[in-house]
Amino acid sequence: MNLSEDPHRRLNPLTNEWVVVSPHRTRRPWQGDVAPVPAAAEPDYDPNCYLCPGNERAGGIRNPNYASTFVFDNDFAALKPGLPPGIPRERFDFEARGLLVAESEPGICRVLCFSPKHNRTLATMAFDEIETVVETWRQQFRELGNVDFVNHVQIFENRGAMMGASNPHPHCQIWGTYSIPQEPSKELAAQYTYFSSCDRCLLCDYVDLERREKVRIVAENARFLAVVPFWAMWPFEILICSRTHIGSMNEFTTDDSRQLSTMLKQVISTYDKLFSVPFPYTMGFHQSPTDGVDHPEWHFHAHFYPPLLRSATVRKFMVGFEMLGTPQRDITPETAAERLRQAAGG
């Protein structure tokens, strides 16, 4: 079997799920949906933006005239902090047979504006500005993780209208949840099983393997490694892993913050060069749970899931077989990594 030519499937050891790879399909014609080219550049300040300094938000609260990062509780939060945690609501009558199950889910949802400048991105901000964002992430992770009912803190950014971002102002969301969400739960189980059976860290071993093979690496510095993972599902997916074994931003040194800032700018700038547009993506950090239990198996990492496939206007859709069967991709992770390295000029 030739992995660069023959159809095959690859296992994601972080979730124990498979992805089908079909390299021979890269030559198929495309007559499907073509997205519009991204709009022209935004101004520094937009009087109609509810995230710009001094403007009134949709919930009626006016922003301060902030000059750096700005954090506030989401005016339309998906979760509420006042609920008692984990109270079940189940029906065990004859008709339901335990199939209608629900439980309360308290949480805290916050918004973090990266910059007062409406038209900035992590790719165009200065290194020290990005480092301020990272330090704010660290502070928020520690603060929310210390809330008694919060067992997981999820930091994530949706960039671009294609990814459902409701506002182009540079920002992310931070959710502290009572339960550990599904994707981190699968990763927690996989890392625990690997650690228990091998007495080693799954992602430490994977980082070592990628650094030996050198075919899927996109960028690397003293503290972090960015790769198109062997099991990547999205066309230009990237996984960033810490090169040393740390579980969360609580363990960061000042140099870790600085090196992560450098890596984020490099990765997102490379994305923007690939098709010469601001690259849409969903990005998020997966960190050890904040449930008061030691998690030596957990390794700090971040996922980038960008949808673009062939150009700035042609995206990958997860439909049909992907929704009903198994995720499938055409371009191999190795080819995607090579194209990203070329875009970066490396």
As annotated, the active-site residues are: 171
Whether 241 and 224 have beta carbons less than 8 Å apart is answered as: yes
Scored b (16 or more CB within 10 A) or e, 199-217 reads eebbbbebbeebeeeeebb
Sole residue written with tokens 């991105």: 121
3-state secondary structure of 241: strand
Q: Can you count the helices (H) and strands (E) in the chain?
A: 6, 14
Rounded to whole angstroms, the Cα distance separating 323 from 14 reads: 20
Query: Please, where are the H alpha helices in 97-201?
Result: 127-145, 182-198
Any residues with CB less than 8 A from the CB of 176 and at least 6 apart, and which? 107, 108, 109, 144, 145, 147, 150, 152, 153, 154, 290
Radius of gyration of the chain (CA): 21
